[in-house]
């Protein structure tokens, strides 16, 4: 069930696993749960075993008091796949659920009702150990459950809304409005000038980590306009041609990363200190050293993240 052993350093996490979302089943999917498989989630993190996601039956003890399940789709054998948030009450009784992940994800004891060897793990940390299908399932579960947890009231009239259609809509009983899960587009760009790439770092990141510039798109913008605005706001650099290369769901909590290559028209950096702590140009040779872990001052973006894959492909001359 895993990609273990493969060289997955160039793999885009959550790059698409061919999940059959079976939208026509959503209206009934959470009513009769017989035969379904459920992925327990704790604070957005999936229950995993060393060889993949840890599915349980609908009546499993770990699901006692769990929040409302969502329907993700069908597995290749036709079984319904659901996800459900593990109850906070059980967490408190078990002595877990304090700060941090809890339940095995950070060295704490596992959930007492978890299958042997299973722990709730940081999805970003385990994404590349999952099959593409499992990664898509877990990302979808995290995004959908996170949306329900933070959108309990109708945005039109303020009344408590309820989940429907297997969790793919929330309906308001007072005004009839329907609300759908949100996905927030983010542009992330490989800004190039000759033989060099522009990278920056946010003050909140781990020491030494630099990545490609990125920012949320604004309403009314094209991808190219968002790339040009973000790069100019953060570094004062003007951008010419922009080309979209790849996309990546990034449910932390609800982003869709839109990876682009952008041609810089100049190189002088005027830093916006609110957005960035530092920005610099690295030559192809310097970036190769960074990616190889041989630069003591600059560390690369996380494996599996689109920034890592875009840089890797640029270094290998494989942007097309
Ligand atoms: Zn309403």
Helix (H) or strand (E) holding 196: strand 196-201
Residue for token digits 């894959």?
Answer: 309
CA distances from 98 to 94, 119, 125, 277, 306 (A): 11, 16, 20, 31, 31
CA distance 193 to 307: 17
**Cα–chain-centroid distance for residue 232?**
26
Q: How many angstroms separate the alpha carbon of residue 309 from the centre of ligand 1? A: 42
Say yes or no to pLDDT of 63 above 80: yes
- Whose CA is closest to 270, among 245, 234, 304? 234
pLDDT band at 94 (very low <50, low <70, confident <90, very high): low
Q: How many angstroms separate the alpha carbon of residue 176 from the centre of ligand 1? A: 6
pLDDT band at 265 (very low <50, low <70, confident <90, very high): very high
Say yes or no to pLDDT of 93 above 60: no
Helix, strand, or coil (residue 82): strand
How large is the average pLDDT for residues 178-187? 97
Task: For residue 278, list its beta bridge partners.
Answer: 201
pLDDT band at 10 (very low <50, low <70, confident <90, very high): confident
DSSP letter assigned to residue 56: B
Q: How many angstroms separate the alpha carbon of residue 299 from the centre of ligand 1? A: 47
Residue 104 sits at the vertex; the CA angle it makes with 163 and 97, to the nearest 5 degrees, is 55
DSSP letter assigned to residue 317: T
How large is the average pLDDT for residues 86-91? 69
Helix (H) or strand (E) holding 37: strand 37-42
Q: How many angstroms separate the alpha carbon of residue 154 from the centre of ligand 1? A: 5
**Cα Dmax for the chain:** 62
Helix (H) or strand (E) holding 142: helix 132-150
Q: How many angstroms separate the alpha carbon of residue 140 from the centre of ligand 1? A: 26
Say yes or no to pLDDT of 3 above 80: no
**pTM of the predicted model as reported, rounded to 2 decimal places:** 0.91
Q: How many angstroms separate the alpha carbon of residue 259 from the centre of ligand 1? A: 36
pLDDT digits (tens, 9 = 90+) for 110-162: 888 999 999 999 999 999 999 999 999 999 999 999 999 999 999 999 999 99
């Amino acid at each position: 069930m895993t990609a273990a052993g493969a060289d997955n350093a160039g793999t885009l996490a959550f790059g698409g696993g061919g999940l059959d979302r079976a939208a026509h089943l959503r209206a009934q999917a959470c009513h009769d749960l017989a035969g379904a498989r459920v992925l327990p989630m704790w604070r957005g993190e999936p229950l995993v075993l060393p060889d993949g996601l840890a599915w349980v039956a609908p009546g499993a003890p770990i699901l006692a008091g769990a929040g409302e399940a969502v329907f993700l789709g069908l597995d290749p054998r036709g079984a319904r796949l659901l996800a459900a948030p593990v109850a906070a009450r059980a967490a408190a009784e078990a002595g877990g659920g304090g700060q941090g992940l809890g339940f095995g994800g950070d060295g704490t004891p596992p959930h007492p009702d978890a299958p042997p060897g299973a722990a709730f793990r940081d999805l970003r940390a385990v994404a590349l150990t999952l099959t593409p299908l499992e990664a898509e399932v877990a990302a979808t579960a995290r995004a959908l459950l996170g949306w329900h947890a933070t959108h309990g009231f109708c945005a039109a009239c303020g009344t408590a809304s309820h989940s429907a259609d297997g969790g793919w809509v929330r309906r308001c009983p007072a005004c009839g409005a329907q609300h759908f899960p949100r996905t927030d587009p983010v542009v992330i760009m490989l800004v190039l000038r000759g033989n060099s790439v522009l990278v920056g770092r946010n003050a909140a990141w781990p020491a030494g980590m630099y990545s490609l510039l990125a920012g949320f798109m604004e309403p009314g913008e094209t991808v190219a306009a968002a790339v040009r605005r973000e790069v100019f706001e953060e570094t004062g650099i003007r951008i010419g041609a922009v080309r979209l290369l790849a996309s990546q769901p990034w449910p932390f909590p609800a982003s869709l990363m839109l990876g682009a290559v952008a041609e810089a028209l100049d190189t002088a950096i005027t830093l916006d200190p609110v957005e960035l702590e530092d920005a610099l140009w690295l030559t192809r040779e310097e970036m190769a050293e960074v990616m190889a872990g041989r630069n003591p001052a600059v560390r690369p973006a996380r494996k599996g993240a689109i920034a890592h894959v875009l840089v890797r492909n640029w270094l290998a001359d494989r942007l097309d």
